[in-house]
Amino acid sequence: MTHDSPYSMDLLINHITNLVTVRALGSRFKRGKEMTDIGLIRDGAVGIDNERIVFVGTSSDVDESRAKYVINGKGKTVTPGFVDSHTHLVFAGTREHEFSLRNAGASYAEIHRSGGGINNTVRATRSASKEELLRLSLHRLDTCLSFGTTTVEIKSGYGLTFEHEVKMLEVIQELRERHVLDVVSTCLGAHTIPFDYKDRRQDYIAMLLDQLIPYVAEHRLAEFVDVFCEEGAFSIDEGRSILQRAVDKGLGVKVHADQLTSLGGSRLAAEFGAVSADHLDHLSDEDIVAMKRSGTVAVVLPGVSLFLGLPMADARRLIEQGLPVAVATDANPGSCMSENIQLMMTVAGTMMHLTVEEIFTAVTLNAAAALRRSEILGSIEVGKQADLLIFDVPSYEMIPYHMGVNHLSCVIKRGRKVLDTMQEKFND
Ligand SMILES: [Zn+2]
């Protein structure tokens, strides 16, 4: 940048009818009643320079001549880029035949027991080359972006051998470099005990503890380690040893907790100060108190309950008892085949009884906190990374309300337009 440039902003979005800032004012997340404060500004303006937000306020407070490029935000809603803090997007093979079986009455557990379910995905993912996984995953990230996700977490967990878990994590690393989205990597070697370790449970856990987790830490293949604590997956004691090894190696931790039964995964997450505990369909009051104390974000996944036809987690209760709640897709081929975060927003409203304001907080700031990213992402505030969405609707409430219809017209990622379906409208 030259000193005689008249500009101090690369881009200004001005006259925004609804600017949803979700301003955090320095806090890591919003909990309880705070979740309803989305920092709405009417006739708002956002200035961006380089990759950062440099101005947030009303149109009357900003000088358009200081911006190199101006977008007219009249009739539009601008929000922070959505953060999807829980996905399993790297996999090969889809399971549409199981969808039909389940709809006809077979349970998820029955399908799993008959050799289907996750084992099908594991087989297909092991057989796929890195190039094939990369191609499939890049396409899925494009779909995420088309619905407004600008940061996504991706877990391994369909390789389930040392070699194939590393392969998945290397694919996730490559996605970070190849795709415009911010990608956060999580090692979920502890997804389930794979079929070929059925009678060698201890051997599999030893592989995780002594080989995979140290290798992942040494080669920086993941930022977090996640454990599926559930009957039929990993016990609390097994989970504890896996999380302990992760923490010893300097990795952050997350837990798939209390989805099908109240096993105590959320309390285990709290014990380790995990960034998030996810699912949370069966929580006791003591679990909630423990999570509150540890500052663990409660991630609920309404798409799973929708897809499997199961009751929803009681997110209302989590908010009322003062937890920070985030909403994510859990995009995966078995229990939620969707990258569409906007769909989850609608279901979080209709089936989990979140208000529209709580929903926006849950997919922005709180979701960023579930990935240790809320210092730079998740709200529209000066100094934060310029990840913004422009919707072609004059009110933010339209977005989850007009369900199944995508009103997103522009995505700005790190200050750059990366998706723009209505270009001509921005040139006036
Ligand atoms: Zn999951």
Taking the centre of ligand 1 as the mean of its atom positions, its distance from the CA of residue 318, in whole angstroms, is 19
Q: Cα of 137 to ligand 1 centre, how many Å?
A: 16
Expressed in angstroms and rounded, the spacing between residue 85 Cα and the centre of ligand 1 is 10
Give distance in angstroms: CA of 357 to centre of ligand 1. Answer: 25
Q: Is this model's pTM higher than 0.85 or not?
A: yes
Query: Would you state the pLDDT for residue 423?
Result: 61
Give distance in angstroms: CA of 187 to centre of ligand 1. Answer: 12
Measured in Å, residue 331 CA sits from the centre of ligand 1 at 8
Q: How far is the CA of 281 from the centre of ligand 1 (A)?
A: 13
CA of 278 to the centre of ligand 1 (A): 8
Contact 363, 341 (CB under 8 A): yes
In terms of DSSP bridges, do strands 276-279 and 40-49 run parallel, antiparallel, or are they unpaired?
Answer: unpaired
Q: How far is the CA of 88 from the centre of ligand 1 (A)?
A: 6
Question: How far, in Å, is the centroid of ligand 1 from the Cα of 14?
Answer: 39
Tens place of pLDDT per residue across the chain (428 aa): 444 556 799 999 999 999 999 999 999 999 999 999 999 999 999 999 999 999 999 999 999 999 999 999 999 999 999 999 999 999 999 998 888 888 888 887 788 777 678 889 999 999 999 999 999 999 999 999 999 999 999 999 999 999 999 999 999 999 999 999 999 999 999 999 999 998 999 999 999 999 999 999 999 999 999 999 988 899 999 999 999 999 999 999 999 998 888 888 999 999 999 999 999 988 999 999 999 999 999 999 999 999 999 999 999 999 999 999 999 999 999 999 999 999 999 999 999 999 999 999 999 999 999 999 999 999 999 999 999 999 999 999 999 999 999 999 999 999 999 988 766 444 43
- 330: CA distance to ligand 1 center in Å? 5
The whole-number pLDDT of residue 113 equals 74
Instruction: Give the model's pLDDT for residue 167.
Output: 98
User: Measured in angstroms, how far is the CA atom of residue 267 from the centroid of ligand 1?
Assistant: 18
Q: How far apart are CA 229 and CA 241, in angstroms?
A: 12
- CA 255 to centroid of ligand 1, rounded, Å: 9
Name the burial class of residue 211, with classes exposed (0-12), middle (13-18) and buried (19+) by CB atoms within 10 angstroms of its CB: middle
C-alpha to C-alpha distance for 99 and 354, rounded to whole angstroms: 28
Write down all domains in the chain, each with its CATH number in brackets.
Answer: 9-80+379-426 (2.30.40.10), 83-369 (3.20.20.140)
The per-residue pLDDT for 428 is 37
For residue 322, how far is its CA from the centre of ligand 1 (angstroms)? Answer: 24
CA of 305 to the centre of ligand 1 (A): 12
Cα of 22 to ligand 1 centre, how many Å? 26
